[in-house]
A = this chain, B = another copy of it.
Amino acid sequence: MDQQANSRPRRRGRDRGAKATPQRQVNYRQLRNPFPPMPAFSEDRIAAIHHTALRVLEEQGMKVLLPQARALFRQAGARVDEASGMVFVGRDIVEAALASAPRSILCRAGTRDRDVLLDPGALTFLPGSGTPHATDLKRGRRPGTGRDFRELVQIAQHFDVMHMLPPMVEPQDIPTQTRHLFTMEAQLTLSDKLPFVYARGTPQVEDSFEMLHDFRGLSDAEFRAAPHCFTIINTNSPRVLDIPMAQGLIDFARFGQVSIVTPFTLMGAMAPITVAGAVMLSHAEALAAITLTQLAKPGAPVLYGTFTSNVDMKSGAPAFGTPEHFKASLAAGQLARLIGLPWRCAGGSAANLNDAQAANETQFALWGSLMAGATVILHSAGWLEGGLTLSYEKMITDMEVLQMVAEMCVAAAAEDSDIAFDALAEVEPAGHFFGAAHTLERYQTEFYDPLVADWSNFGTWTEKGERSASERASDIWQNILSEDARPPVDGDRFEAMQTFIAKRTAAGGAPPES
């Protein structure tokens, strides 16, 4: 399906009969990373980082606030101090966990062609997520609402290059005890992509799992047999795993759903100021979290991950799309390959406006993630203000870049006909190829058709109103929403979900736990 919301190849006055205009075939769904991986450090320094992380877990320990989690570590042979909550994990426990964690995870979405394989070499993009605010040129910046959440799910649904749904914006006008019901309903009815569930306590998680397996028509066993949703688990750097995060790791593991482990380690703030130090800390915390999933259930699907960047040391403000962010991503990729797990990275920008800074920081961070071999790249579209706001226009302008990266996943052809010796012979020196047979056979499908880029000359662009990329992007998302496209939904299951939501709401919902 052609995912460009604006231009389509037009007919050129030939074959106006039954023959349709050829459509360029693209498949942005199951991507494999085509870029050669780049190292940040030598192999032996990566090994040193890995072993230092293991030493940190053994000698410095993690503070694990959830008693049930500490019990799992203790049962596995870790040294646990109940009074302080400190857990000291021996490397043999970590290594056993890395051996049991699966390398390849097939996640089941609403339809089979939306399934996502998460393994080293896969490439998936997710929009920016978890922001308290939304912004767009029509309505301005505001606290995120349920309406924003639903709209952003629809926009993410529209683009095949968005492979999974993260939590978009926080719908702050929806009561916290039923917010998880709202967001699951939106994800299931407005999209057929892999949905997200926040780890905000077992009651919310169990509600979400129940909605999901009922809507998918799965038995409990079928639900647990493959991942049908995912969560993101952040540690509290440095060296703390809090209650809902540990509970989430355990719950998701036991239900066979994917946890994406993501320490959020900003150099100089909650992590050492060096790239190597911040990555080492992140690695240690990620290893601890991954180990907990395997202790809860050996073989539980889990992704390694990090979100490591720097801060502005003058103000403490987080920075993204910096050289340090890029280098940290590369190092994390090396560590992910060392431990053999699929893994998540992230892009984004600290800009306050969708301008050249926002575009440049986001794309620079993206290239760091791509060249690091990340399996899942979060915040790849729309993320602004270092994660405080999701911009509708930036979703679209970033989407252009992601679609172009997806195009790079398919090699250009180099058959003899493509090398075009004969075509060249047909055009005189200083001639042109516009009317050559070789061109006419191909022009409707040869090139990527831009989503938002305007290539008209200055005069034409001026006549059309001197519109910026953000202004054109605004039209694009508005058109998408006005189409109000929806995946097919089973009527009975939809009704059953409404009943469930009403019942749980009447019972008081499930407040988030902390």
Q: Which residues in A have some Cβ–Cβ distance to B below 8 Å?
A: 7, 9-10, 34-38, 40-42, 45, 48-49, 52, 55-56, 59-60, 62-63, 86, 141, 236, 238-240, 267-277, 280-281, 310, 312-319, 322-324, 326-327, 331, 350-361, 363-364, 367, 371, 385-386, 388-389, 394, 397, 400-401, 404, 407-408, 411-416, 418-421, 423-425, 427, 429-434, 436, 438-439, 442-444, 446-448, 450, 452-458, 461-462, 466, 468-470, 473
Which of B269, B360, B386 is close to A432, meaning CB atoms less than 8 Å apart? B269
Closest to A135 in B: B458
Say whether A433 contacts B271, CB under 8 Å: yes
CA distance A435 to B36 in the complex (A): 39
**A407 in contact with B323 given A314-B7, A360-B359, A455-B312 (CB within 8 Å):** yes
Q: Is the CB of B355 within 8 A of A388?
A: no
Chain B proximity of A212: nearest CB distance (Å): 33
Which A-B residue pairs are the 3 nearest by beta carbons? A277-B420, A323-B407, A359-B359
- Given A60-B424, A388-B458, residue A408 in contact with residue B468 (CB < 8 A): no
Say yes or no: B447 contacts A267, CB within 8 Å: yes
- Contact between chains at A356 and B317 (CB < 8 Å): no
Inter-subunit contact A423/B313 (CB<8 Å): no
Most buried by B among A52, A281, A359, A455: A455
* CB-based contact B355/A470 at 8 Å: yes
Tell me the minimal C-beta distance from A421 to chain B in angstroms: 5
Distance, CA A274 to CA B238, complexed state (A): 52
B280 touches A446 (CB 8 A): no
Question: Do B431 and A238 have beta carbons less than 8 Å apart?
Answer: yes
Which B residues lie within 8 Å of A326 (CB)? 404, 408
Known: A313-B446, A327-B408, A468-B353. A418 touches B277 (CB 8 A): yes
Q: Known: A315-B456, A424-B56. Contact between A443 and B269, CB under 8 A?
A: no
Pairwise interchain contact A274-B420, C-beta atoms closer than 8 A: yes
